[in-house]
Homo-oligomer: A and B are copies of this chain.
Amino acid sequence: MAFSLSPSSKHTFAHSLREKGLRPTKQRACVYGVILDKRDHPTADDIFDRVKKHLPGTSFATVYNCLETLVGCGLVRQVNMDRSPTRYCPNLTPHAHFKCTQTGQIFDVQIDQDTLSKMHALIPKGFLAENIDLCFSGKGDSSTN
């Protein structure tokens, strides 16, 4: 059976897509669903595996298409750390990422408004930032292993 989003997620989802004239298809809902469901910053590959459990016929291309669409609608964010596969994150609040070099795990790190402003203030006159990306890497919290 298809993935079922919670009523509120389903609403945000359908609304965000329709705003851009796009259709809330079951594949898109499912991709969005698995990203919301387990917030472990999955790769396209992880997402493909999870989606197939719900919609076995789904192709890799579709997963990539859906991801691109969801990113374009602002429903999920892409997380790129060094050269490793792109990961996807449904947390839309201002936050940074911390990658544990030992486990590969990625953690969200909240950014307070003051620090965010200071970061914005770095940008020289004449530049207009549409995107900010802050990534840390190092040893993660051992208690979370």
Contact = CB atoms under 8 A, between A and B. Distances in A.
Interface in A86-145: 86, 96, 98, 101, 107, 109-112, 114-115, 118-119, 121-143
A65 interface: no
Q: Say how many copies of this protein the assembly contains.
A: 2
A130 B139 contact: yes
Interface stretch (A35-43, A45-53, A75-83): A75-83
Interface residues on A, range: 35 or more
Main secondary structure of the interface of A (DSSP, over half): mixed
Interchain residue pairs A-B with the least CB separation, the first 9: A126-B141, A130-B138, A129-B136, A129-B138, A128-B139, A115-B118, A133-B135, A131-B137, A128-B138
